Amino acid sequence: MNSISVYPDGAKPEKPWLAAYPTIVPAELPPLEYASLAELLEKSCSRYADRIAFSSMGKRLTYRELESQTRKVAAWLQNSGLQKGDRVAVMMPNVLQNPVAVYGILRAGLVVVNVNPLYTPRELEHQLRDSGAKAIFVLENFARTVEQVLARTDVRHVVVSSLGEMLGAKGLIVNLLVRKVKKLVPSWSIPQHKTFRQVLSEGAGKAYNPAGLSINDVAFLQYTGGTTGVAKGAVLTHKNLLSNKLQLELWLKSAFEKRQRPEVLNFLCALPLYHIFALTVNSLMGMSLGAHNILVANPRDIPALVKEFSKSNVHVFPGLNTLFNALMNNADFARIDFSSLVISLGGGMAVQRPVAERWLKVTGAHITEGYGLSETSPVATANRFDSAEFTGSIGLPIPSTELDIRAEDGTSLPLGEVGEICIRGPQVMAGYWNKPEETARAMTPDGYFRSGDMGFMDARGYTKIVDRKKDMILVSGFNVYPNEIEEVAAMHPGIMEAAAIGVADGHSGEAVKLFVVRKDQALTEADVKAHCAANLTNYKRPRFVEFRTELPKSPVGKILRKDLRG
């Protein structure tokens, strides 16, 4: 898509979304309070010293303890030959070591490279080589993967931690269970590696020097695009993430305009911290607010997650459509007292109306859907927290954010017309790491990021996504969007999950194929087709239905249509 003069008359149109803003939320951001994420951590740890910052498997870490331990990690890194701006990978699930390592890296003036712990050796090698990471923090469960690629990377420092390493005496039992009973730690050998405990011990005896970070220094390389091709590192600066953190805080105020905010907010962190959604919403915003983040190491263990939900006084719960759905399909979930739950945030994929309506019925709380990408730190739009209904849209651009719907030639489209969603704001990345051509393709000359998502904006400024460009199905010249098919399928009481793709068809070019996970095992193909026929026009109806016991998903629970396409 080539960018040309965006508006025919050169005039900037009115921002229709501002009229729909909550009265308590400003249109533009005030000046940022902190010069870096390191300063955010240090000031929050001083301000909220005796509060619990993170907890995991019953072990609690106060803000005072977090400051001490991150200082030790930072000192160790600074005294290990690493220079300001060097990249350090973190390959850990949601355990206490994760935020300690991440904030320690940031305080040392280094750049965090978040790594999915479930990566294959091929995927890990690409990310380590592409980023030029010189060190890695990894949980021992995944150390074998690191061992297999280490010699072909620039990594010279490997810190290996165990699941129970920060859990005190309980950790001995946890490690025994994980290593010997469940056998979740494949054998590995990495000479000269350090344990996490050794790093803390050695760091305690070394000098820590504040890194003198500026707001435009790089904070994270957040890799993205791995589900569609070769993963690219989105360059996120301290300004990008501090801006998005502040944008979310301002938006959050509307949730407590008519009810008292608890003195300490409890966030249930089931989404992985290596994913941009949990990193910003849980860790960074939680840090700024002095919140308590309850870390869940394995969100796929739904019974364990339900137990955590039931025993914690949860106020804020970010999740994905698939996670909300899985929780509600657990019999014990409906028995929880949800009186403390104020905010359920939906992101990462479209929230389906049947799921949102059922969630409201079960919990009494609305799912507030937002939208963003790794390249936007991530949140670009959100629905109002005080909305009385599920809008089915991605909401309004948050403060200091602009959305423009553009045609293939780069011109701005009128309200109501479908085009590519383009985003401009202080949270938009600085570019892709070492990929100037990819960056040029992704960014317009006037500073908008081309999301690759197709949607339209209505007269009130609310935007509705119709689908990714790559997922759109073309049936006899008509555009068919998988999200619509999947949402209709989800309305059927016998369907647990569904995913739609396009398959080649000699008559219509493409036809719709629907993959279904049954809730009711008696459900037939004829049942599914009859339901879709009652709710979709002819060309949108699935021509083929295939039943599966499960659908392929990314580690954060997003259904992978590319895997269904084969």
For the chain, give the mean pLDDT.
93
Of the residues 224, 259, 274, the one at which a domain ends: 224
Q: Which residues partner with 353 through β-bridges? A: none
Rounded Cα distance between 306 and 76, Å, is 38
Tokens of 154: 């620039």
**Rounded to 5°, angle at Cα 240 from 7 and 467:** 55
Contacting residues for 380 by C-beta, under 8 A, at least 6 apart: 371, 372, 373, 397, 398, 401, 403, 423, 425, 427
Query: Taking a C-beta distance cutoff of 8 angstroms, is the pair 314, 340 a contact?
Result: yes
Greater confidence (530 vs 554) lies with 530
Q: What's residue 477's pLDDT?
A: 73
**Predicted confidence band of residue 403 (pLDDT cuts 50, 70, 90):** very high
Environment class of 142 (CB within 10 Å of its CB; exposed 0-12, middle 13-18, buried 19+): buried
For residues 358, 499, 298 and 232, what is the CA-based torsion angle, rounded to 10 degrees?
Answer: -130
Contacting residues for 83 by C-beta, under 8 A, at least 6 apart: none
Query: How do beta strands 87-91 and 343-346 pair?
Result: unpaired
Q: Is residue 3 part of a domain?
A: no
Chain center to CA of 124: 19
Q: What's residue 310's pLDDT?
A: 95
Place of tokens 């489209």: 413
Residue 387 has pLDDT above 90, yes or no: no
DSSP letter for 14, please. Answer: P
Q: Which domain does 111 fall in, by range?
A: 63-224
Contacting residues for 522 by C-beta, under 8 A, at least 6 apart: 494
Rounded Cα distance between 362 and 355, Å, is 10
Place of tokens 């949108």: 540
Q: What's residue 229's pLDDT?
A: 53
Nearest by Cα to 345 from 326, 365, 330: 365
Q: Is residue 187 part of a domain?
A: yes
Q: What's residue 226's pLDDT?
A: 45
**Predicted confidence band of residue 13 (pLDDT cuts 50, 70, 90):** low
List the CATH number of the domain containing 526: 3.30.300.30
Which residue type does 447 have? G
SS3 558: coil
Q: Which residues partner with 133 through β-bridges? A: none
What totals of helices (H) and strands (E) does the chain contain, helices first?
17, 26
**What percent of the chain has pLDDT above 70?**
97
Rounded Cα distance between 482 and 560, Å, is 12
Query: Taking a C-beta distance cutoff of 8 angstroms, is the pair 485, 500 a contact?
Result: yes
User: In 158-172, which positions are buried (b, 16+ CB within 10 angstroms) versus exposed (e)?
Assistant: bbbbbbbbbbeeebe
pLDDT tens-digit readout, 262-319: 999 999 999 999 999 999 999 999 999 999 999 999 998 999 999 999 999 999 999 9
Q: Is residue 216 part of a domain?
A: yes
**Predicted confidence band of residue 467 (pLDDT cuts 50, 70, 90):** confident
How far CA 330 is from CA of 236, 333, 558, in Å, comes to: 38, 6, 19
Nearest by Cα to 142 from 193, 192, 102: 193
**Predicted confidence band of residue 421 (pLDDT cuts 50, 70, 90):** very high
Place of tokens 């870490």: 61
Residue 120 has pLDDT above 90, yes or no: no
Q: Is residue 520 part of a domain?
A: yes
Place of tokens 């979310």: 248
DSSP state string for 230-273 = S-EEEEEEHHHHHHHHHHHHHHHGGGGSSSPPPSSPEEEE-S-T
Predicted TM-score (pTM) above 0.75:
yes
Rounded Cα distance between 526 and 541, Å, is 12
Q: Is residue 537 part of a domain?
A: yes
DSSP letter for 180, please. Answer: I
Listed range (7-11, 206-210, 234-238, 305-309) with the worst mean pLDDT: 7-11
Q: What's residue 389's pLDDT?
A: 86
Query: What number is the average pLDDT over the span 145-154?
Result: 98
Q: What's residue 478's pLDDT?
A: 81
Q: What's residue 228's pLDDT?
A: 43
Place of tokens 């985003």: 423
Query: Taking a C-beta distance cutoff of 8 angstroms, is the pair 188, 194 a contact?
Result: no
Rounded Cα distance between 342 and 271, Å, is 18
Of the residues 224, 256, 286, the one at which a domain ends: 224
Estimate the crossing angle of helix 321-328 against helix 353-363, to 10 degrees.
Answer: 50
Nearest by Cα to 25 from 531, 385, 512: 385
Q: Is residue 194 part of a domain?
A: yes
How far CA 352 is from CA of 32, 347, 382, 483, 560, in Å, comes to: 35, 11, 15, 8, 16
Listed range (254-258, 277-281, 543-547) with the worst mean pLDDT: 254-258
Rounded Cα distance between 368 and 391, Å, is 9
Query: What number is the average pLDDT over the span 549-561?
Result: 92
Tokens of 502: 């396009």
Phi/psi at 516 (5° precision): -130, 135
Q: Is residue 448 part of a domain?
A: no
How many domains are contained in the chain?
2
Q: Is residue 271 part of a domain?
A: no
Query: How do beta strands 343-346 and 367-372 pair?
Result: parallel
- Bond prior to 378 in cis (omega within 30° of 0): yes
Q: What's residue 2's pLDDT?
A: 36
Q: What's residue 304's pLDDT?
A: 96
Of the residues 174, 189, 224, the one at which a domain ends: 224
pLDDT tens-digit readout, 489-539: 999 999 999 999 999 988 888 999 999 999 999 999 999 999 999 988 888
Q: Which residues partner with 382 through β-bridges? A: 370, 396
pLDDT tens-digit readout, 220-251: 999 986 434 568 999 999 999 999 999 999 99
Residue 353 has pLDDT above 50, yes or no: yes
List the CATH number of the domain containing 196: 3.40.50.980
Q: What's residue 481's pLDDT?
A: 83
pLDDT tens-digit readout, 179-199: 999 999 999 999 999 999 999
